[in-house]
Each structure stands twice: as C-alpha cells, then as structure tokens.
Amino acid sequence: MSIELIDVLDENGVKTGEILPRDEIHKKGLWHRSIVVAIINDKNEILLQQRSEQKEKNAGMWDISVAGHLSTGQDALSAAAREINEEVNISLGYHVDIKLFRYMFSYRTTQKFSDNFIENQFYDFFILRKEDLNIKDIKMQESEVQAVKFVDINELEEMRNKKTIVDRPPVYDELINYLHRY
C-alpha cells in the first residue's frame, strides 16, 4: 500500500511547503485540505455511502457521497474526480468537465478523535449532478465503503436528526437549501 502524501497548510489554508504522510498530519493535528462531493441523480436524490467498519473514524456511519484528502500538488476538482472513481467507481472519463461540478463553498473544522488523530481540515464542497445513475452500476471500494444508497431530502433530514450520518452541518445545510431550489 502506498503512503498518501499531503500538503501541509497554515491556519489560513495556505500551503507551507511541507509535505507529510497523511497519518503524520493527523497525529500532529496539522492543517490540510479535503473535498466533499454530493452526487445527485435526476430524481433529486443524494448518493450516500456507508463507511467501512475498518475506518479509523466514523466507522459504519452513513456519509456524503464522497469525501477525501487532496494529495500533494493536487487541486480540489482533480481530488474530487479521483475520490469518486476510487470510492464509488463512477467513471467520469479521462477528462473531468468542470461544468459537471458545482463548487458550493469552503469551510474549516477541527475535530479530535484521539490523542493520535486530530483533524484540522479545510473542506471544499462540490455538488455533482449525474443523470442515469443506477445504484446497480456503482462499484464500491470495499476497504472504504460497505454500502451505498440514494436518499431524498426528507430521509437525509431524518438521518441527521437520528445522528446516523457523519456530522457535516454546513454541508448538509447547504445541500438541503440547494435541493429545495431544484
């Protein structure tokens, strides 16, 4: 298994020039960047993934369609396309058309999962509308994802209330506002 290298950021989201393995970044609680992508089908349903029981955080919980770190030197859009292809294997082809993605906003968060796992992250949130997306056609990366499903806005809100979905308040607030407009 290859080691995932990530650009270290300062508290303002600017690259420091330091590059470290993902595990070391979390152990030291250094700032870094990730993406989250909500994939929405033509029925206005959101693709959710259930995180593998082997994940180091939020194991077994439902989560947004795709989330992941930016690798060293990678931009957010390329990371979003890579994570989509890795985690839920929705092929976007070799050329990612930027028009497919809608950039929503960026935010930062700090969470301490343990003394050796501190997450100081900047997130870039995107929405990807994908027509003719069938759940049977999705191939999951079993080390990351154990199930996928589509939910409508009401089920998403119900999952938030029951706390069966990873806590991402700004993402879900914006996603629900977006879905109410379409």
Contact (Cβ atoms closer than 8 angstroms) between residue 36 and residue 126: yes
Decide if pLDDT at 178 tops 90. Answer: yes
Give the number of residues written for the chain.
182
Quote the pLDDT of residue 130: 85
Decide if pLDDT at 96 tops 70. Answer: no
Name the class of domain 5-181.
alpha beta
Measured CA distances, 182 to 23, 79, 103, 106, 137 (Å): 40, 26, 16, 22, 25
Contact (Cβ atoms closer than 8 angstroms) between residue 17 and residue 24: no
pLDDT per residue as tens digits for the range 15-60:
999 999 999 999 999 999 999 999 999 999 999 999 988 887 888 9
Question: Tokens at residue 38, please?
Answer: 């909500």
| Helix axis angle, 169-181 to 153-162, nearest 10° | 160
C-alpha to C-alpha distance for 179 and 30, rounded to whole angstroms: 34
The answer, as to whether pTM is greater than 0.85, is: yes
Confidence of residue 69 (pLDDT cuts 50, 70, 90): very high
